[in-house]
Structure 1
Amino acid sequence: MNKRKLPAISRRQFLGTAITSTVLTLGGLSVSSAVAATQKRPNILFILTDDLGWGDIGIYGKTYQTPNLDQLAREGTRFTNAYAAQTVCTPTRISFFTGRYPARLPVALQEPLVDSDNVGLPPQHPTIASLLKANGYQTALVGKWHAGFLPNYSPLKSGFDEFFGNYSGAIDYFTHKNESEKLDFYEGEVLVDKPGYATDLYTERAVEFLTRPRNKPFDNAQGEPFYLSLHYNAPHWPWERPEDEELSRTFYSSNDITAGGSKETYAAILKRLDDGVGKVLQALKDSGQADNTIVIFASDNGGEKFSDIGPFQGRKTSLYEGGIRVPTFIRWPGVIQPNQVNNQVLITFDLTATILAATGTSPDPDYPLDGRNLLPVLVGKKPVSPRTLFWRYKSNESGYPSGQLQAAVRSGDWKYLRQGEKEYLFNLANDEGEQTDLKDNNPDVLKRLRNRFEEWNGQVLPYPA
């Protein structure tokens, strides 16, 4: 397929009346007179956490305390039916970067992603970063990338102006070594040995990015708009609190990634994450940019060993609700009303489509989005509507449910689930815990959703043999 390069849209175009028609129309739906008055493109702060369970945020669950995240959720819209695009991290990240189902790219079929120089997010594939960059945005990724390894793949090759973080799926919080016991901490594409607890280092870099002077290319114009992806490694294993540096010296002597830890340790990891988000949001406010910044918070998949998965069953690597239902909220002052709880079903790549719509950024027509723009629902111009979404998972690593295909479809309130040869049918309207299999009483629904899955499955890439 030949990719057509999108022309960069001039900043001056957006600073005049063009921004009103481009950003505010959003498919014919006016968003807010407040935005029209400012005539500014919004900044974007996207915060992605790693293995955070649905109930790990205090406002969702009952186990852990996260006051800063609770406050952020109250200042915007909190979703109760938000899903990750996959039950493990690389495919969900690929989905967010591209705005598409992860199974459209070979890299997202390597679950988990191995360190290889020939598997990654292709630099020529448009991403949310490359599209926003072409549209005049300053782009940065702080934290976990996990979408391919050097020398062929990196955030700098996929639209980000700058990168500070780790390439692999997991690093020690103190030594910053990966599971191969190799240092994995980078400034761009240069390896750096920087002391500190990883969560704190990512917070500090995000604060620095937000508080630096922004370029002002035209008289009386806003500073250059930014898109910052802050991808914390927390609360992903290893189970290390900020005071556990001594533990980190011997942690990788064990190959058991489920070893150790406790709910108390997990609570301390979450607290440092919550404190970090609080500092980032305070920096945004102190810099005078909060009112013109869309803040989106999400997780890449369901929780792990110590997570509060709420009323669900299943965790990471499972297509039960606990493995894919994730906390998600969006704040946009003056546009999205605060203290809203929304039950619209959404998935990771909807967040991509929403960001592009809010910034007046066109997707590449050669790579059509799978996501939907959520803004009409967020501002009350469109009612909540049913969705039909698809998942498919098969690990390529021992220690996981290796070799067994899992499949899932959510269509309205119905949930079709396949694990190997076993099929299930649940009605999530009154059975979010997926306890009652209704397939025998609803054979037509079972057949319809099974067929829908097979139709979708034929349109995406097959798993490697």
Structure 2
Amino acid sequence: MILLQSPFFIIMLSFLCFTGCRQPEQHRTSDPPNVVIFLADDQGWGDVSYHGNTNLNTPNIDQLAHNGLSFEHFYVSPVCSPTRAELLTGRYHLRGGVRGTSAGEERLDLDEATFAERFQEAGYATAAFGKWHNGMQHPYHPNSRGFDYFYGFCSGHWGDYFSPPLEENGRLIQGDGYMVDDFTNKAIKFIEDNSKSPFLVYLPYNTPHSPMQVPDQWWENFESGELEMVLPANQNEDLQFTKAALAMCENIDWNVGRVMGKLKELGLEENTIVIYLSDNGPNSFRWNGGLKGRKGSTDEGGVRSPFFIQWPGRLPQGKSISQIAGAIDLFPTLMELTGISPSVNKPLDGKSLAPLLLKDNPHWEDRMIFSHWNGSTSVRTQQYRMDREGKLYDMEADPGQTTDIAAAYPEIARELGLAKTDWNEEMAAAFDGKTRPFTLGHPEAAFTQMPARDAEPHGGIQRSNRFPNDSFFTNWRSREDSITWDVKVMDAGEFEVELYYTCNEENLGSTIQLSVGGAQVQAQVKEAHDPPLRGMENDRVARMESYVKDFKPMSLGRINLIKGRSKMVLKALDIPGNEVMDVRLLLFRRIN
């Protein structure tokens, strides 16, 4: 009895239990927390079963809310790239130069700091898997914005979701299977490889953005079934589109479950902050809790997103937060939760949500969150929203924005109207009006892509679709035709150039020339490659984006580029047939 009660025995027993009884992979809560961020693309607030939609079942996403916290009123931008910019920087997207979704307007200014850079500086292994959509060429590329590893695509949308061409740290590769599954596979492998050190995993999925492609096992759950919650007939809901979108959301949910299962298997769940949100409202009119607007709208339905965050043992379970918050808050929140210094040289628009997460009744002042797209601005306070037309709504009494109360509450309307005007003027002042060339040959980049998306066609050349992101050029018939890029060579050097093309047998033999500044390289089209358009075979509903082809690379040779800005021109010197070729992209590889 004396021995059993001795301090020495108690210390030894505690030591044996610590070393022998715990799970071998369990990390101490004092370790820097890992971070996993899921970002869906075009998934509305109502596209999760947690919010009451009985049309689908998302148990793994819902579990994040049950195990952690959910925000009832969380706001993002009306479209893709602006939300990504705000999430990464904690600042409104217009401050960072993001004014569109393609043709270079999606690029995040280089003097903007991202949370990934702060994690990288703090010693985290950082990786992004999926749709980047804030710049393709270095130093806009994710590998230049804080991510050690990138696997996915940098464009705004993609034309094929089954084993399509992707990139891995700038190198073009072929994907492996359905894209969301593929991104998740790579993320799980990264987590396994970095399980002994802190990591940041960013999973910006590309679904349920169109084209509406989803594997059979998910589609079969919806194809012939009836939806319980549908819009009134006068709202013209496309039920096939809704079914496809919900099937894609259930696939996302399955992949969320795979990541969460791997964290638990490795003993990392207790020390990992997991966040789930979407980038804008739903991409069609479908059940969304009666909210007004959809993707592209600055009304509530266009900018309200699901937002769930869990950190077992550190954050409460099942807590619902009513205070308004937004994508601009993610940067400062992550910095405070992880203890990493923000180290920003510009003021943030967001504020840390840590008090709401960690305290029961924190002091929290009312605030304004602004939403903007395509010249339209709305502003949201805790109780009110003023829309782009100056109409005022009591969002607590009228979440569907049915009754304008501006005349009944003139002082509130005046205050919010002035705030909108001031914000618009401040954002306009942040824009210097200068055009930005596409960067080529950054010294830290082995490869530079120059896709058709970023070019201008001249003469009879046509884009394959009015949406540039996934387009290619066709109808190239004349020596007067040309394709041009506004480029800035970042560092002089010699480059190997490949052109991704298609050309049928009858039109072989054209001689083409690429010129950049005073440098030129010429090549002849000698090998036929004429694959059919595809993509429609996997579409569940008709798409609005371009169909795709399997483009083949041909070498144009080597070219010596000098540093500076110039016009890059691709033209034909000789056309023996009726057409030259179809063009998808140019790929530059630095030789020295």
Same fold (TM over 0.5): yes
Matched, 1:52 2:43: yes
Aligned to 2:159: 172
Aligned partner of 2:383: which letter? Answer: D
Spell out the pairing of 1:238-257 with structure 2 (5 A cutoff).
Answer: 238-243=211-216
Could you tell me how far 1:68 is from its partner in structure 2?
1.1
Q: CA separation of 1:392/1:263 partners in 2, compared to 1, >3 Å: closer, same or farther? A: closer
Structure 1: distance between partners of 2:305 and 2:267: 30
Which structure has the highest strand share of the two?
2
State the match for 2:144 in structure 1: 157
Q: What is the aligned counterpart of 1:94 among 85, 92, 107?
A: 85
Contact 1:54 1:61 in 2 (8 A): no
* 1:248-306 C-alpha deviation (Å, 9 max, x unpaired): xxxxxxxxxx9994333222211111111100110111011110000011111111115
CA distance in 2, matches of 1:362, 1:458: 31
Partner of 2:190: 209
Conserved in 2, the CA contact under 8 Å of 1:266 and 1:306? no
Q: Quick one: structure 1 residues 412 and 195, their matched pair in 2 at CA, closer, same or farther if it must change by over 3 Å? A: closer
Report what 2:314 is aligned to.
Answer: 335
Between 1:335-344 and 1:427-436, the stretch displaced more is: 335-344
Which residue identity does 1:231 align to in structure 2? P
Q: Report the equivalent of 2:404.
A: 437
Contact 1:52 1:307 in 2 (8 A): no
Summarize the Cα distance change of 1:260–1:440 in structure 2 as closer, same or farther, 3 Å threshold: closer
CA contact (8 A) 2:238 2:285 kept: no
* CA-CA distance at 1:307 after TM superposition: 4.3
Alignment check: 8 A CA contact 1:47 1:297 kept: yes
Match of 2:58 in 1: 66
Q: Which residue of 2 aligns with 1:189?
A: 170
Query: Separation in 1 of the partners of 2:286 and 2:190?
Result: 31
d(CA) in 2 for partners of 1:152, 1:335: 36
Pair 1:412-2:379 in alignment: no
User: Using a 3 Å threshold, how does the CA distance of structure 1 residues 129 and 283 change in structure 2: closer, same or farther?
Assistant: same
The answer to whether the aligner puts 1:234 opposite 2:204 as a matched pair is no
SS of corresponding position for 1:407: strand
Matched, 1:199 2:180: yes
Contact 2:324–2:381, Cα closer than 8 Å, also in 1: no
1:446 aligns with 2:435: no
Q: Which residue in 2 is equivalent to 1:113?
A: 102
How many Å separate the matches in 1 of 2:238 and 2:81? 23
Mean Cα deviation higher: 62-71 or 136-145: 62-71
The equivalent of 2:68 in structure 1 is: 76
Letter in 2 for 1:64: L
User: What CA distance in whole angstroms lies between the structure 2 residues aligned with 1:158 and 1:148?
Assistant: 10
Q: Residue 349 of structure 1 corresponds to which residue in structure 2?
A: 328
- Residue 141 in 1 paired to residue 135 in 2? no
Aligned to 1:42: 33
1:159-201, Cα deviation, whole Å (9 max, x unpaired): 1000001111111343566xxxxx4x11011111123111110
Could you tell me how far apart the structure 2 residues matched to 1:158 and 1:372 are? 22
Query: How many Å apart are 1:152 and its aligned residue?
Result: 4.5
Amino acid at match of 2:65: A
For residue 163 of structure 1, give the secondary structure of its aligned residue in structure 2.
strand
Q: Secondary structure at the match of 1:90?
A: helix
Q: Specify the code of the residue in structure 2 equivalent to 1:437.
A: D
Aligned partner of 1:409: which letter?
A: V
User: Aligned residue for 1:388?
Assistant: 368
Equivalent of 1:308, from 287, 293, 306? 287
Structure 1 segments of 4+ aligned residues over 6 angstroms from their partners: none
Cα distance in 1 for residues equivalent to 2:176 and 2:239: 23
- Of residues 251, 255, 265 in structure 2, which corresponds to 1:272? 251
Tell me how far 1:143 sits from its aligned partner.
Answer: 0.8
Instruction: Tell me: CA distance 1:71–1:224, structure 2 relative to 1, closer, same or farther (3 Å).
Output: same
Residues 239 and 132 (structure 1), Cα distance of their counterparts in 2 relative to 1, 3 Å cut: same
- Which residue identity lines up with residue 100 of structure 1 in the other structure? R
- 2:427 and 2:282 mapped to 1: Cα distance? 27
Match of 2:343 among 364, 386, 391: 364
Q: Is the 8 A contact 1:173 1:199 kept in 2?
A: no
Q: Distance in 2 between matches of 1:392 and 1:457?
A: 9
Question: 5+ residue gaps in structure 2?
Answer: 1-27, 219-236, 435-592
- Of the candidates 194, 197, 222, which is equivalent to residue 224 of structure 1? 197
Whole-angstrom CA distance in 1 between matches of 2:130 and 2:342 = 25
- In structure 1, what is the equivalent of residue 554 of structure 2? none
Whose RCO is larger (CA < 8 A, sep 6+)? Answer: 1
Q: C-alpha distance in 1, partners of 2:181/2:249?
A: 12
* Residues 187-196 or 289-298, more deviating: 187-196
Percent identical across equivalent pairs?
Answer: 34
* Deviation, structure 1 residue 384: 5.1
Does residue 125 (structure 1) correspond to residue 112 (structure 2)? The answer is yes
Could you say what secondary structure the match of 2:334 adopts?
helix
Partner SS for 2:201: strand
* Kept after mapping to 1: 8 A contact 2:139/2:145: no
Could you tell me the TM-score, scaled by structure 2's length? 0.62
Relative to 1, partners in 2 of residues 1:154 and 1:457: Cα closer, same or farther, differing over 3 Å? same
Distance 2:240 2:168 in 1: 30
Instruction: Please state whether the residue corresponding to 1:65 is helix, strand or coil.
Output: coil
TM-score by length of 1: 0.78
For residue 216 of structure 2, give the secondary structure of its aligned residue in structure 1. coil
Query: 1:119 offset after TM fit, Å?
Result: 6.3
